[in-house]
Amino acid sequence: MLSLHWHPKHVSILKISGEVNIEIDYKKTDQDAVWDGLKGYITNPKLTDKQVIENYDNL
Q: What is the pLDDT of residue 8?
A: 57
* Domain-located, residue 23: yes
* Domain-located, residue 26: yes
Give, for 9, the enclosing helix (H) or strand (E): helix 8-13
Question: What digits encode the pLDDT tens for the residues 1-59?
Answer: 445 555 555 556 667 888 988 889 999 999 989 888 887 777 777 888 888 888 877 77
Residue 43: which domain range? Answer: 8-58
Q: What is the pLDDT of residue 22?
A: 85
Q: What is the pLDDT of residue 52?
A: 82
* Domain-located, residue 1: no
* Domain-located, residue 2: no
Query: DSSP of 20-36, one letter per residue?
Result: ------HHHHHHHHTTT
Q: What is the pLDDT of residue 2?
A: 47
* Domain-located, residue 44: yes
| 0.85 exceeded by pTM | no
* Domain-located, residue 28: yes
Q: What is the pLDDT of residue 9?
A: 54
Q: How many domains is the chain partitioned into structurally?
A: 1
